Structure 1
Amino acid sequence: MVQHEDVINESNLKTSYRRSLFLFIFGSISGIFIFFVQINGQFPFEAIYKGLLNLLGDAVPYIILSYPPLMMIGFIYAKKFAKEGSKICNFFEEDNTFHGVVYVFSSILAVMILLQSGISVLYGPKSAGFMVTDILPFTITIIPVGGAVLPLLASFGLLDVIGSVLEPIMRPAFKVPGKSALDTIASVVGAAVVGIFLTASLYKDKHYTTKEALLISTGFSLNSVGYCAFCVGYVGLISKFNIMFLMYLVITYALAAIMVRIPPIKNYPDSYVDGSIQTEEMRSENVKFSIHQIKKGFNNAILKADSSDGIIKEVSSGFINGIGVSMKVVPMMLGIGGVVLAINEFTPLFVILSKPFIPIISLLGVPEATIAAQSIFVGGLDLFLPSALIGAAAVPDATKFFVVMISLMQVLYITETMLPIIFFGIPVKFRDLLILWVMRTIIAMPFVAICMHLIY
């Protein structure tokens, strides 16, 4: 680790103090503006990715369907024919046989969807077709735009300042660095996948240990305020959105504080991506508010800005990297997500698996416990599915409240967050993500039931 003095010496900088200070101020203000300042009720980040989506127009489905075969061909060429050290070889360096199989399978699915022929159970509008029309369009725009904008938050020092200020709160409560608060905010105003992308990037840059990255990506990568409002409004409870969103944030942070202290997250190592171990001294550093630590955070920010490649290069490089990441993630989400949705739609498997939830929900006094259990269980597949099921059911508002709140707090959804967590490079087992989903669901139930009984 680099040692920083209270006062930065100009000779310690690669460029100049004035340039570094400008990059820190301009980059940070730009990032804050794009992510956190609403204009006419919309955040600029949301306007940018939706604008890109509109610009692509009718080409969106064809772009999505082109990614799997491109990845399949690229994977085969990289592993069989490319020279070691070449760009394409490096691009596919971390991919293994499993990735190759998924690329091939998702390519077959893409052809089925394009031709509307083959196994309809797999390519239809309730399975892989749903992924193409409702989920992946946002993936192919949010990730590149997020890749372009996130350097404004991460590469010019803003994280260092925020981390120094919030460390005394975040470290004791959640056992994570103070800068992780920014991951949450990026998720809430952008999208969960943006928070996961930022967390994975910071993990690879040695800002987080494996345990910290896992907790942040599974506990702090929250659903955006816009999508939360959409789900709440879909079931007819938009008049209660403000209080529901507040409850959602409070309970979700309580869940994060609990989950980090118990397995499976507790069992993950406090080691960085290069294998080095985080010491107790590192964890106990800066846990009290002081002017010295704020100065240190500012100095670290200047050094961070000094080491950057400049705003244009960082933003353009981030956008290109985002495209590369989305090209890898789309086949995984299309293939695996499509199959899981098909299982849910055409088999009784998830109805059967939801049955253990029924007595718990009944005990909590939730009306229509059977329907609530089935709706909550499909939340592990996709965020919107619980709202879609319970919104169409003739059940009391209390049941709708309970189901929607639980679905938001689950945070982990196979189609939208579990697969990106894995394929963005955070080293977690899929089994553990499923365990975390079950644990979050069960632990959240009594909290949400109390809120339900207070309102209804």
Structure 2
Amino acid sequence: MIPKKSRELQLELKSSYNRALFLFLFGSLSGIVIFFVKINGKFPFEIMYKALLSGLGGAARYIILIYPILMLAGFIYAKKYSDESSRIYQFFKEDKKFHGIVYALSSVLAIMIYLQAGISMLYGDKAAGFMVTEILPYTITIIPVGGAVLPLLASFGLLDVIGGVLEPIMRPAFKVPGKSALDTIASVVGAAVVGIFLTASLYKEKHYTTKEALSIATGFSLNSVGYCAFCVGYVGLIDKFNIMFLMYLVITYLISAIMVRLYPIRKYPDVYVDGSIQTDEMRTENVSFNVAQIKKGYYNAIRKADSSEGLAKEVSRGFVKGIGVSMQVVPMMLAIGGVFLAINEFTPVFEILSKPFIPIISLLGVPEPVIAAQAIFVGGLDLFLPSAVIGPALVPDATKFFVVMISLMQVLYITETMLPIIFFGIPAKFKDLLIIWFMRTVIAMPFVAACMHLVY
């Protein structure tokens, strides 16, 4: 028998209560299994995107190289020749001249990589070539698979239940909604870019304000447990991975609680994507634990499931959307990430910029502060680079511990997270992301140094 409240709710629903309940339970449980239940030691999400990558095989490289050219051609056609009601115009509607320049630059790089001719310092395996072989293959598979399965978390009510339960914790501590806990879980289990994709999608659906979306994307889009283990293992510290990962989570969340209260995140408005302002009442209505709040979350979940278009449509639409997003992001990552990697490899710019870190690291008692500073600074480009720099170096394990831990806690990397934050649609300024990266790095140093002295 359907409870009284549920019968009242039935009057609001466009379909039956039982259908909405089924979608909520089946969709949410499917999402939980895919992201949180290991099968043969691996999460299904990881199995899915790696299976897609394996299925693509050598074609992945050509897909990466063709995306920029397709985007450049589409951009020119949309802006010059298409009708405003056409799909191609809508796809490129928000792109500016800057996007066209990036599409053009990435197309040139793609042609140079394919032909293995041109400016070698730009297309080589230390620059744009590195993006094509090491980073972008995961981008073109993780984002579409993430687009397909994230609706299981967001479109059938699980988000509403989690939000109702965790709001009393997340709001006072981090100044973000309780539902943002799913963003960080999606990151840790899947990849940081998956968490950013989810955050950007929820921002566009008016779940988060601009400030909340930026805070979540820069503080909760953590590195996946698998990639963390890879970086730790690369420098020879895999035997300490469990304690390092625990320290990583605790300190990272502490830093996130600090950063949301500081400039530049603090200056961003609590305004939703449609321009409406978040009121004080909205921020305080669900900040205490009670049964009524949990019930409210449940009934909101039923309404959400009822408003969905069904499992097949939501999943397939999410997959197609993910392909479109990856087509937009790949050229940006190839062009901008490739250029920054070339600057790092062939100029002393990053070595010079890392020098202010040396006295801080030395003061904290970290052995070999010069090489540690250089390794940490290149973390702003890519998560793996600090491990690549410090791994083969003849330095104490304490230095390797310090460098790897800092690199994980930086969260922001130009090639993997900063560019997706911007191009997924979160209205963040690039210079602010660089400032946040620098602040996170400096704030993390004393905490990590204290852990280093405890371990070594």
- TM-score grouping bracket, smaller chain normalisation: over 0.9
Counterpart in the other structure of 1:334: 334
Separation in 2 of the partners of 1:39 and 1:6?
A: 36
Counterpart in the other structure of 2:270: 270
Separation in 2 of the partners of 1:34 and 1:255?
A: 29
Does residue 25 of structure 1 match 2:25? yes
1:152-206 alpha-carbon deviations (Å, 9 max, x no partner): 0000000000000000000000000000000000000000000000000000000
Mapping for residues 382-401 of structure 1, pairs under 5 Å: 382-401=382-401
Contact 1:7 1:299 (8 Å CA) reproduced: no
1:10 offset after TM fit, Å?
A: 1.3
Contact 1:200 1:425 (8 Å CA) reproduced: yes
SS at match of 1:179: helix
Contact 1:148 1:319 (8 Å CA) reproduced: yes
Counterpart in the other structure of 2:37: 37
- Whichever residue aligns with residue 141 of structure 1, its letter is T
- Whichever residue aligns with residue 186 of structure 1, its letter is A
Contact 1:366 1:398 (8 Å CA) reproduced: yes
Separation in 2 of the partners of 1:384 and 1:232?
A: 10
Separation in 2 of the partners of 1:249 and 1:40?
A: 25
Separation in 2 of the partners of 1:36 and 1:87?
A: 36
1:316-359 alpha-carbon deviations (Å, 9 max, x no partner): 00000000000000000000000000000000000000000000
Task: Tell which deviates more after alignment, 435-444 or 10-19.
Answer: 10-19
Mapping for residues 92-131 of structure 1, pairs under 5 Å: 92-131=92-131
Separation in 1 of the partners of 2:364 and 2:7?
A: 58
SS at match of 1:272: coil
Separation in 2 of the partners of 1:58 and 1:264?
A: 42
1:257 offset after TM fit, Å?
A: 0.3
- Whichever residue aligns with residue 255 of structure 1, its letter is I
Counterpart in the other structure of 1:147: 147
What TM-score, normalized by structure 2, do the two folds share?
0.99
Mapping for residues 358-373 of structure 1, pairs under 5 Å: 358-373=358-373
Contact 1:8 1:299 (8 Å CA) reproduced: no
Counterpart in the other structure of 1:252: 252
Contact 2:6 2:17 (8 Å CA) reproduced: no
Identity among equivalent positions (%) equals: 79
1:8 offset after TM fit, Å?
A: 4.2
SS at match of 1:32: helix
Counterpart in the other structure of 2:378: 378
Structure 1 alignment gaps of length 5 or more: none
- Whichever residue aligns with residue 120 of structure 1, its letter is S
Counterpart in the other structure of 1:323: 323
1:314 offset after TM fit, Å?
A: 0.2
SS at match of 2:11: helix
1:9 offset after TM fit, Å?
A: 2.5
- Whichever residue aligns with residue 245 of structure 1, its letter is F
1:7 offset after TM fit, Å?
A: 6.8
1:11 offset after TM fit, Å?
A: 1.8
Separation in 1 of the partners of 2:6 and 2:56?
A: 49
Contact 1:6 1:295 (8 Å CA) reproduced: no
Does residue 82 of structure 1 match 2:118? no
Counterpart in the other structure of 1:48: 48
Stretches (4+) displaced over 4 A: 5-8
SS at match of 1:95: coil
Counterpart in the other structure of 2:240: 240
Separation in 1 of the partners of 2:315 and 2:384?
A: 32
Contact 1:6 1:292 (8 Å CA) reproduced: no
Separation in 2 of the partners of 1:206 and 1:166?
A: 19
1:6-59 alpha-carbon deviations (Å, 9 max, x no partner): 874212101110000000000000000000000111000000000000000010
